[in-house]
Amino acid sequence: MSDVWVTEGLRHESDALARDIGAMLQPLISGLDHRIALPPDSAAALAELEEALPLTGSGMRATLDRLLDLNARAGANTSGPKSFHFVIGGCTPAALGADLLATACDTLTYTWLTSPIGVMMEIRALAWLRELFGLPTNWSGVMVTGGTMANFVGLAAGRQWWGEQQGFDVSEIGLSGQPPMPVLTSGFVHAATRKCLAMQGIGWGHVRVYRRDEVGRVDLPGLEAGLQLLNGEPAIVVVNAGEVNAGEFDPVEDIIAIARQHNTWVHVDGAFGLFARVSPRTEHLVRGVERADSVAVDGHKWLNVPYDSGYAFVRDHGLMARAFRYTADYLPAEDDPRPTMGAIAPESSRRARSFAVWATLAAYGREGQRRIVEHCLDMAQHLAERIGQTDDLELMGTVPLNIVPFRYHPAGLSDAELDGLNQRLGVAVLADGRFLVGTSRLGPRTIFRPAFSNWRTRREDVDEFVAVIRELGARLLS
């Protein structure tokens, strides 16, 4: 006997959702420019989540109305124009619409058979991204959750290469009993890279960091000497194309040129910095990246597609396939001519990230993406100019891309006092909620590091941000 609620009741709710979803989302999407960045009084809303599992539930519409209310009261407006924390992009209209479609279809892109359009759209979108970033057309690629997993794919391919250079298959026998895998990089190395090395059994303690100053800029002679000491033994070199505190770059072309004189796998972490390639104004920052062996980049940052979305590009498809291969009688065969994207990446369960990526590139093209990137560059430069015009704000570095390092600097305070003041100001800004922005450290100094990667941010948002920082800073001094 059938359960009528399962067979009919849920279908009625599905029809009602299709009828009502536009009206439900319209105020949310249209209000993104005006909603507060971080609601300051979220405690009451969060306390409402502390409830027992309901026996029968309240139904679709009541539950979604409640979710919209809870999100308005306790959800950060990360897609809005005043979210400068981390490096968070927005969503272009085409990307948002396509992502809603991917969810509505519940598209699974593990293999061609589960979604021919989803898989082939991923392959086409990756080809467009290679063209956008000036990467070789014969490189392989795959979509993953974000920069961390994109780095994971590139480093896994590098680890597989390293093992094969030593005469064994890492994916089959692992690293137990093998010599440590050397990993050389600069002081700009991101925490995600260390996390990936830990997850892969390499260990972040084996990373050899070559820095020439407290900020982390690379010591090129030291790096070259470190490679020479290996006497031809294989090693991984990680190039950091975009540092998160001040937006500086490793000298990509110079490091790769040195690495190519040795037996190395070169991986480039270009989570947001690879987008420098899109504009003639910043292309020089990542010149030479096409000579690497693998590259990682995020889409939910500067491509302005929804979370989560990242891309790994690898020169040798075979290494990706060997690093992530697995078989079972019910899975597609390794020699199946139809693509299985889940066989060249960590995840087998894969949503259709390709829909949003393909849609935003199809809707706006290369020129649209360049204009979005350059708009964000302009916002960063506008903030730097405003800081230069203000006697109680201090720019703490150059602004090569989209991150602006600065601190609140009223007269008469020592560096140590300024560090403490800016730490307190960072807490005050988040408590205030009008802007979502974080503090970090640049060398020994505490700084703010707003990052611009959302098409929605306007000059008036930047001007308001300066005013809010000064208002809250003055309040702390009073």
Domain range summary for the chain, segments of one domain joined by +: 4-74, 98-363, 365-477
Say if residue 326 is exposed, middle or buried (CB neighbours under 10 Å; 0-12, 13-18, 19+). Answer: exposed
Read off the tokens for 68. 């919209």
How many other C-beta atoms can be found within 10 angstroms of the C-beta atom of residue 389? 9
pLDDT of 407 = 98
Residue type, 310: G
Domains 98-363 and 365-477 share a fold: no
Task: Express each pLDDT in 123-167 by its tens digit.
Answer: 999 999 999 999 999 999 999 999 999 999 999 999 999 999 999
Residues of the chain with pLDDT under 50: none
End-to-end CA distance of the chain: 73
Measured distance CA(384)–CA(382) in Å, rounded: 5
DSSP 446: E
Strand pairing report for 183-186 and 235-240: parallel
Please report how many Cα atoms fall inside a 13 Å half-sphere around the Cα of residue 401, on the Cβ side. Answer: 30
pLDDT of 335 = 86
Phi first, then psi, for residue 326 (nearest 5°) are: -160, 155
Task: Express each pLDDT in 221-279 by its tens digit.
Answer: 999 999 999 999 999 999 999 999 999 999 999 999 999 999 999 999 999 999 999 99
- Comparing CA positions, the residue from 357, 459, 426 lying closest to residue 81 is 459
Asked whether 431 and 40 are in contact (CB, 8 A), the reply is: yes
Spell out the CATH class of 98-363.
Answer: alpha beta
pLDDT of 1 = 80
Q: What is the CA radius of gyration of the chain?
A: 24
Please report how many Cα atoms fall inside a 13 Å half-sphere around the Cα of residue 355, on the Cβ side. Answer: 25
CATH fold of the domain at 365-477: Aspartate Aminotransferase, domain 1 (3.90.1150)
Instruction: Supply the DSSP string of 77-100, one letter for each residue.
Output: -TTSTTB-STT-----HHHHHHHH
Measured distance CA(39)–CA(71) in Å, rounded: 9
Please give the torsion angle defined by the CA atoms of residues 104, 110, 113 and 116, in that order, rounded to the nearest 10 degrees: 60
Measured distance CA(223)–CA(220) in Å, rounded: 5
Buried b (16+ CB within 10 A) or exposed e, 18-32: eeeeeeeeeeeeeeb
Report pTM: 0.97
Strands, E, within 155-229: which ranges? Answer: 183-186, 207-210
pLDDT of 334 = 85
How many other C-beta atoms can be found within 10 angstroms of the C-beta atom of residue 89? 30
- Comparing CA positions, the residue from 235, 249, 267 lying closest to residue 162 is 235
